[in-house]
Structure 1
Amino acid sequence: MSDRISREELVRIYNIEVTFFDSLEEAGLLKIETENETKYLQYDELSTFEKFTNWHYDLEVNLAGLEVISHLLNKIERLREESFIGR
């Protein structure tokens, strides 16, 4: 069993635009693997992909907004880790 899913499968399953997926990749919001010209997302990145998809399609957050949210969440996580380590 593979530990990844192709871009085409994600587009079909989540009913999203290929351009949205590609935009997430270009913005560095998703870590994508390419093999034989097929793009794949690792299953451990799937929850991140689902968050971005929900925020974009359900809440109408644009790509710039997704980048800001991602940056802030990563910063919060780093601060939590630093705070935990400092104890």
Structure 2
Amino acid sequence: MSERISREELVRIYNVEITFFDSLEEAGLLTIETENEIKYLPYDDLSTFEKYINWHYDLEVNLAGLEVISHLLNKIEKLQVRNLH
């Protein structure tokens, strides 16, 4: 079992709405593990979650914008990896 943190604890610690977390999951922006009907975020994905929080709450980027930014950054990363080989 990987190290992880529950959705409820995340929204309490980061002071965000649970609907924000659920929206990220529904959009496929977070990979969630579910056990006994409790949703968990792997610790490895915490930095990604924090980025989304900053973009959404500090920069006021909506969910559609988060999806676009994420998609473009993933595309750039793949191109960089491909160009290194």
Shift of 1:31: 0.1
Q: Which position in structure 2 is the counterpart of 1:50? A: 50
- Structure 2 residues not aligned, in runs of 5+: none
Q: Deviations over 1:47-68 (max 9, x none)?
A: 0000001100111000000000
CA distance in 1, matches of 2:5, 2:31: 12
CA distance in 1, matches of 2:26, 2:57: 18
Q: TM-score, normalised by structure 2?
A: 0.97
Whether 1:34 aligns to 2:34 is yes
Q: Which position in structure 2 is the counterpart of 1:81? A: 81
Q: Which amino acid aligns with 1:40?
A: Y
Q: TM-score, normalised by structure 1?
A: 0.95
CA distance in 1, matches of 2:74, 2:68: 10
Q: Which amino acid aligns with 1:84?
A: L
Q: Which position in structure 2 is the counterpart of 1:22? A: 22
Runs of 4 or more, structure 1, over 2 Å off, are none
- Structure 1 residues not aligned, in runs of 5+: none
Q: Alignment RMSD, CA only?
A: 0.7
